[in-house]
Structure formats: C-alpha cells, structure tokens
Chain A
Amino acid sequence: MRVDRRTARHTLDQPTDRGLRPSRRAWLTGAGLFSLGFHIPFLAPARAAPAAAEPEVNAWVVVKPDDTVVIRIARSEMGQGTLTGLAQLVAEELDCDWARVTTEYPSPGRNLARKRVWGDYSTGGSRGIRESHEYVRKGGAAARAMLVAAAAKGWGVPAETCRTERGVITHVPSGRTTTYGAVAAVAATIEPPKDVVLKDPKDWILAGKPLKRLDTRPKLDGSQVYGIDLTLPGLLNAAIRDCPVTGGSVTSFDAAAVSGMPGVKRVLQIGDSAVVVVADTFWRAKTALDALPVVWDEGPNATVSSATIAETLRAGLDAQEAFIGNTSGDVAGALKGAAKVVEAVYGVPFQNHATMEPMNATAIWTAERCEVWAPTQNGEAALAATAEAAGLPATACEVHKIHLGGGFGRRGATHDWLRQAVLIAKEMPGTPVKLIWTREEDMTHGRYHPVTQCRMRAALDKDGQLTGLHMRISGQSILASVAPQRMVEGRDPVTFQGLNPGGPEAAIGYTIPNILIDHAMRNPHILPGFWRGVNLNPNALYLECFMDELAHAAGQDPLAFRLKLMGHHPKHRAVLQAVADKIGWDQKPPEGVSRGLCQTMGFGSYVAGAAEVSVSESGALKIHRIVAATDPGHAVNPQQIEAQVEGSFVYGLSAALYGACTVKDGRIEQTNFDSYPVMRMEAMPAVETILIPSGGFWGGVGEPTIAVAAPAVLNAVFAATGKRVRHLPLKDTDLRRA
C-alpha cells in the first residue's frame, strides 16, 4: 500500500509501471492470495487490446480521454536519463503537450506476447537512445497520423487540411479544433500509415532541448520504489552468502544453529554454492545468516591471488599467439629501423560496479507461474533468466521492471542475482520472497571490470615522427565469459574497443603507418562483466597515456604530436581541439597547475578530456578543473548529457584514483566502501562540458567520457611530477617529488 501513496499527486510526473500496478492491486484484493491473486497479473499483460478507457493508439502511445499521453519505454532507466530522452523523441513526432506526458514500461511478458513489438530491451553499451531513436520516432509519427486521420474522419474533411500543435488538432480552413484525447479511441481503430516522414532534427522543438527529467519528483521525497523497497502481502526476505571463492561449493551448513533465531522461516541451500536464510525481515535474515556455520569446499581457485593473475597476464605480453584487432604495414620492420624505440607496460585491476542500490530481486513461484520484480537493464534477458531458473516456459513467466538504483552494466548481461531469487522462491511455492544482497555480498560477488595489462612499443624516426606501434593487450575477455556466442572465431571483438581501424562504433583516431594491435586472451576465474565504459576505459588509458610518453620522448607538445597523426580523423580531432582551446592549452597554466589531455571514440561518440591538476610537496593530488567535449552526432537532451559527462568523471576517476578489487586466496578482498573507496564530493573537480553535435549519426553518452577521465588526469600528473602512473589505481603510486 505504501508504494502507491504518492501516485495520486504525481500522475503527470511519475513514470509508472502498468505491469506492476494492476498486479499489486490484484494481490491486495485477492481473497485467497496465492490462488487468485497470482493468476491475475498474467492474464492482464496477455490481453491483446488495452482497456477502452485508455486507448492505445499504437504500441508506443496511449492517449487518455483527459489528454494525458502515456509513452511506452522499453529501455531501462537507471539514472542515465534514457527514459526522458526517448519520451522526448516520441513526443517530438507525436506533437503532443509535453506537460501531459507520462511514461510506462511495457513488461517483457507483454513484449513476448506481442511478438516483440517494443523491440530490444537491452540497456547497456550506451545504446538506449542511439539504437532505438528511429523506430520510437516512427511510433510517435504514426500515432500522430492516426490521431489526425481520426479527427478528419469525424469532421469529414481531408487529413491534409488538419494540423497539430501540442496535442490539439485544428482543421485549418474552418478553425475547428479537437484534442488527441477526444479522438484517441477512434484513432486506435485506424489502419496505421505504411510509412511516415520524420522531422528534420533542425525543426525539433522538444528533442534536442534541455528539458527537465520526467522522473525527478519521486526521487526527492522517498516515494520512488526501487527493487529493494518493494513489498507485497506476505512477503518474506532473504539474505544470501555465495561461496567466497568462485568455483567453490557448499560442503555443509548447520541450519539448526540459527533456525530458532527471531523471524527465521527457512535456512536452505540453492545451487551448489550458496546458503540462504529466509526471514520475516531482511535484517533478521541477515543476522541469522551471519551466525550460520558453513563449511565450504573452496575448489580449484582457492590459491589464486592478484600476484598469480598478474604473472599469467605478464606471460601473455610475450606470447606468440594473439588475436589481431587492427593491423597494417610492417610493425616489426618499423621497430627495427627506428631511430628510437619507446616501450612501456600498463595495467588495470578488477573494479566492482558498486551500484548504490545493492543487487536484489523479488520472486514468486508456483508450479504453473513465476513472476519477478527486478531492477534490470534488460527486461527480455531477465525474463529468459526467470524462465530458465523457474523451469517454466517464458510464456508462463513475467518480469516487472523497476527503476534501477544504478546499473553501470552490472544488471544487464548477467542476471545471477535474479536467478538466485527465483531459485529461493521455488523452494517456497506461492510465497513472495525478496532477495537482497548485503554490500559485502555485492562487493565480493561482482562481475568485475576485466583485468588486463598492455605492452606499448613504438618506433620514432629521427624527426620524432611515430612510424610504428605495437599494442599488445593481455588479459581477460568479457565475451568469453558473458556471451561466448558473440565471439568471432575465438576472438573477442569488444577487447579492441576504441582501437578499431574504422567503423561507426569505436575507431582509433590516429593514422599510424605501421600498426599492430593484438590480444593474448588470459581468463582468470574472477568473473568479468560489462563495467560502464567497458574496454574503452583501459584501451584509452593505454593509448592516450602512451601518446603522451611518445610526445615527451620526441620532445614535442602532446597536442601537436597527436594532431599530426589525426589528419584523416576530423571528428576525433575536433573534440580534442575543443578541449585544448577551452582549457587554454596554448597559454601558460596558473602557477603550480599542470595540464593533460586526451581523446578517444567509443559507443558511437567522439570524446576528449583535459585536466588541470596540482600535486603538493607531500604528493597529494588535487584536480582543479576538467574540460570535456562530446560529439554524439545528435544531442537529444543537452542538460542530461552534461549530467552524464559529469557523472562519468566521478565513475572514471573513482577507479583511476582509488578503486581496485584485489584477489587473495581466490577471493576478492574488498568488502565495502571502506576498503573500496570511491570519489566523494570533496575530491570532485569542476567539469565544463562542451557539446559538439555535428549531426548525421547517433552516438551514446552514458559511457564514452569515462574513458578519457583517467588519461587526462594522469597525463596532467606527469606534467606536474614527471611520474608516469602506468598501473591503476593512482593511490598506489607515491607522487612526492623525488
């Protein structure tokens, strides 16, 4: 009941979940809770036509009689603003009144029942907007055409003589008007147009504008219901402990020792490796779990450490065999004939996503049905995971999506936490169970940013010109673990993010006559995942810090050195030049301040960063100022892009400065924010964002900027101290002047 208490006040502002609400009402009204209430949620989503009171003009647009427009959003909102951006795109073509726009998530089960009418639900890789902008805009345009046709039909006039503005349809010759709400029911019966013409972005009035987010107000008064907040009648809470070493298993546990503790309902094992306490409240479940004696078989990985992993990766730097990502010319020849060879080895550790909301999911299972409430980045994948864990066909399952308290890649590609919730619920048929991970469980059972090392080796000629580059990456593949079906002949193409010879997604921004970029795959047992920015982060760090090293070795200015190699890469060059201009690269920095810069391309966008830092006598780093430029092609909401760029520096610099998940005795050592520190306000620099939407393409904004955070700052640190930080995090390096 609590979860609904604000909805009346926020109907125009709060994204709601139609899948969630009727369902919860069903729970509440069902007399025999699990016999009656349980089935209603499944019937509702499966129905083909929406209720007459709320006509669905098409899959994307519902217009209520009071002219409220409900825009359906398939992608997930986790803070990145996609929900608002997609609504802007639909509303732009629909030509409705923005003040009356609200949104809802169509459930994955409905999507399945309607033959994927809402398309891809995946919300990762900064693709929420860039991969669906066209069909959602067409959805808005088609709905508009149907609404106009309905009005014209009512008036008996040709549709071409009507125009629309903010949800009002006017028959121009007669001046008669009506509203979308008044004709929506008729519009829903009209044949959708075969084709629609989309607006030229230069005519946009909603898209491209810095509109306020649609989902802010419930986030200000505690009324936003996250997965961790969900409650259902009869709900029990579960706490889980998975074997601390991946690959290990439970040998035994003494349930009797804790089953009499307050509130405890069940003590059980799920799968091979996890023990669970189910109690009336989460705190009681956790308290009992902490007291539960467990004997683990830690398995074959129990002796692995960060040192042994580093050793394995180091061997990969010299391995004969490697997958090639980018090659042209003759690097070996160039190195042989070089006036100077520059070489350096870099490395990055594991990182935890550390979403502010720990992993959680709520499930209810019977032999016929399974229903899940989950903060997921991919509703379809969540439905598939539910079906698999439930042992039921997907058509007998449903997932209710809830806004995420942070995703960053942790909640999309692997639904390990959701699977656990279903397996627990399966042990208690008919009882809804909410599984919440403690921060400690979250920290030690992540899907970590992959660990890699990289050897950079370059040839400079006698004029200090770069003639050859060999970049050898050694380390973990995400796809090999997460999505082996996406490997290409054993090779993981994502490893080369930002280093590809060309293409619209993640191309290198330099022309180097002799180049070889290859990957010796070495996969430790610590499970990797897509961590916001993914492989673009280490790749930009390696390449852009090394470019600085090369400029230094050649005795050239780091900007000038780069620009000489960027003649064929005008978009890369434009963002780099923009940050250089804005930070005042050609003028002396303030006393005691040093500068660094860098650029890269990923997720379809071009980004660059520049930093001003100072390092005190005692080695304390202060970042004074960041300038960041982004060319995402089209910018759908400039103020939200700014928010993403600022946030990207927090995420990227948290990892660069402090973050490292280290391994000892096969397990992750860091357990909470005391041992895995992240950036706080005290260290946060001012961020100046330059937006250069050059048009003609659609790039993402949630991730690319993260990759320039570390190299911009580390290059500035070198300028300040003469010290190259080649292994993250920076806190492990003594920056005191020698």
Chain B
Amino acid sequence: MARLNVNGVLREVDAEPDTPLLWVIREQIGLTGTKYGCGIAQCGACTVHVDGAAVRACSVPLSAIEPGQKIVTIEGLAPGADHPVQQAWAELDVPQCGFCQPGMIMASVALLAQTPRPSDAQIRAEITNICRCGTYNRVLAGIKLAAERGQSG
C-alpha cells in the first residue's frame, strides 16, 4: 500500500508501483478531473501539481512519488473553484469541450506561481498543452487576465 497526499488528504492506494500517477488518481482515488489524453507526456491533459510544480501525471510512476510530497489535482486547486485562473476562465468562456481544460488550468496556475506577470512569449513557450478545440487564444487571454488580477488583488 502506498500513501499519497492528494488535495490535503492522505490516501492509501493499492496499485502496482509502476502504475502511472494519472491512473492512480483516476481509478484508485476516484478523482476524474485529471484527464487521459495521450499517456506519453505529449498533451498535458493529465497535469497535476506535485509540490506546486506542474507534472504530467501519465508519465510519473506511483513509485516516483516520495513520502510527504503534496499532490494537488484540479478538484483541490481552490475551495469553491474560485482560483483567479478559474475565475478568468469563467469570465472569458475559455472552455469548448473542456476536456483539456483541467490540464490547461493546472499548467497555467503553475506558470503564474513561478512567473506572476508572464509575457505572451513566455506563455506561448510554457503552455504546451494540446487543445483540439482550439481555445489557445482564450487560454492566453485568461492567463493574462488572471495575472492582472493576481497583481492588483
């Protein structure tokens, strides 16, 4: 039994050590906001935070998570889902199908934590998640809006 701290709750999970964190989160813990899109670290749909850093959970085996590491998924990002990034997303109607959006949001939050006022070029370089519906321009606008809010508020 491995022990994981997910969204501030300690969970015992019964999975083979080479099981990707993505599937542990989705199938053992039952948090399905973290999505499967490719399984090979290409699309970012599975992005979660491990100790605050954006991580593509499909490519991290359970065994790689160290005791005490804090995992945050989209469900645990902010109480009431009112993180400035989520607010900006709502305001700009960013999602289309929405399937990539948990990953987009988690990647964007991690970027802003590191770089509170990113330039367009920084955003374009850092947000490499795939969105097949094509929400990129609204994602970019959403990050900038959240950054502004973060600064003033």
A binding-site residues for B, Cβ under 8 Å:
2, 78-81, 212-213, 215-226, 228-229, 231, 237, 262, 281-284, 287, 354-358, 403-408, 436, 438-439, 639-640, 643, 646-651, 672-674, 678-682, 684, 686-687
Q: Which of A2, A80, A406, A651 contacts B30 (CB 8 A)?
A: A2
B23 touches A281 (CB 8 A): yes
B101 touches A219 (CB 8 A): yes
A222 touches B93 (CB 8 A): no
**A-B pairs with beta carbons under 8 Å apart, 8 shown:** A216-B98, A217-B81, A439-B38, A640-B93, A646-B136, A673-B37, A681-B124, A684-B124
B40 touches A651 (CB 8 A): no
By a CB distance below 8 angstroms, the chain B residues around A219 are 95, 98, 101
A673 touches B128 (CB 8 A): no
By a CB distance below 8 angstroms, the chain A residues around B127 are 681
By a CB distance below 8 angstroms, the chain B residues around A681 are 123-124, 127-129, 136, 139-140
B95 touches A220 (CB 8 A): yes
A220 touches B27 (CB 8 A): no
By a CB distance below 8 angstroms, the chain A residues around B23 are 281-283
Instruction: Given the known inter-chain contacts A356-B43, A439-B39, please indicate yes or no for A79 contacting B97, CB distance below 8 A.
Output: yes
B39 touches A651 (CB 8 A): no
Closest CB-CB distance, A444 to chain B, in whole Å?
14
Instruction: Given the known inter-chain contacts A220-B81, A358-B36, please indicate yes or no for A406 contacting B99, CB distance below 8 A.
Output: yes
B95 touches A216 (CB 8 A): yes
By a CB distance below 8 angstroms, the chain A residues around B134 are 646-651, 679, 684
B binding-site residues for A, Cβ under 8 Å:
15-16, 19-20, 23, 26-28, 30-40, 42-43, 45, 73-75, 77, 81, 86, 89-90, 93-102, 105, 123-125, 127-140
Instruction: Given the known inter-chain contacts A406-B132, A439-B39, A673-B130, please indicate yes or no for A356 contacting B100, CB distance below 8 A.
Output: yes
Residue of A nearest to B19 (CB): A283
A221 touches B74 (CB 8 A): yes
A354-B132, A679-B136 known; 5 new pairs, CB 8 Å cut-off, are: A221-B74, A221-B75, A228-B36, A358-B37, A406-B97
Instruction: Given the known inter-chain contacts A231-B30, A283-B20, A673-B43, please indicate yes or no for A356 contacting B99, CB distance below 8 A.
Output: yes
Bound together, the chains give a CA A359 to CA B73 distance in angstroms of 24
Q: Which of A237, A281, A405, A646 contacts B98 (CB 8 A)?
A: A405
Q: Which of A215, A223, A438, A651 contacts B132 (CB 8 A)?
A: A651
Bound together, the chains give a CA A580 to CA B140 distance in angstroms of 27
Closest CB-CB distance, A712 to chain B, in whole Å?
16
By a CB distance below 8 angstroms, the chain A residues around B140 are 681, 684
Bound together, the chains give a CA A646 to CA B137 distance in angstroms of 8
Bound together, the chains give a CA A217 to CA B74 distance in angstroms of 13
Bound together, the chains give a CA A222 to CA B105 distance in angstroms of 10
By a CB distance below 8 angstroms, the chain A residues around B81 are 217, 220-221
By a CB distance below 8 angstroms, the chain A residues around B15 are 281, 283
By a CB distance below 8 angstroms, the chain A residues around B136 are 646, 650, 679-681, 684
Instruction: Given the known inter-chain contacts A222-B102, A231-B30, A681-B124, please indicate yes or no for A357 contacting B97, CB distance below 8 A.
Output: yes
Q: Which of A78, A404, A684 contacts B137 (CB 8 A)?
A: A684
Bound together, the chains give a CA A56 to CA B85 distance in angstroms of 38
Residue of A nearest to B135 (CB): A647
Closest CB-CB distance, A289 to chain B, in whole Å?
13
Closest CB-CB distance, A578 to chain B, in whole Å?
20
Instruction: Given the known inter-chain contacts A639-B93, A682-B124, please indicate yes or no for A357 contacting B32, CB distance below 8 A.
Output: no
Bound together, the chains give a CA A229 to CA B105 distance in angstroms of 19
Closest CB-CB distance, A657 to chain B, in whole Å?
13
Bound together, the chains give a CA A639 to CA B74 distance in angstroms of 26
B95 touches A356 (CB 8 A): no
B90 touches A357 (CB 8 A): no
Q: Which of B42, B102, B133 contacts A672 (CB 8 A)?
A: B42
A355 touches B132 (CB 8 A): yes
> Considering the complex of A and B, which 3 residue pairs feature the smallest CB-CB distances, nearest first?
A222-B33, A650-B134, A79-B97
A357 touches B99 (CB 8 A): yes
Residue of B nearest to A360 (CB): B36
B97 touches A220 (CB 8 A): no
A647 touches B27 (CB 8 A): no
Q: Which of B125, B128, B130, B133 contacts A79 (CB 8 A)?
A: B133
Instruction: Given the known inter-chain contacts A356-B45, A646-B138, A681-B139, please indicate yes or no for A226 contacting B89, CB distance below 8 A.
Output: no
Bound together, the chains give a CA A223 to CA B33 distance in angstroms of 6
B74 touches A647 (CB 8 A): no
Q: Which of B28, B35, B42 contacts A673 (CB 8 A)?
A: B42
Q: Which of A78, A222, A403, A673 contacts B31 (CB 8 A)?
A: A222
Bound together, the chains give a CA A686 to CA B141 distance in angstroms of 11
Closest CB-CB distance, A515 to chain B, in whole Å?
34
By a CB distance below 8 angstroms, the chain B residues around A222 are 31-34, 73-75, 102
Instruction: Given the known inter-chain contacts A221-B75, A439-B38, please indicate yes or no for A78 contacting B97, CB distance below 8 A.
Output: yes
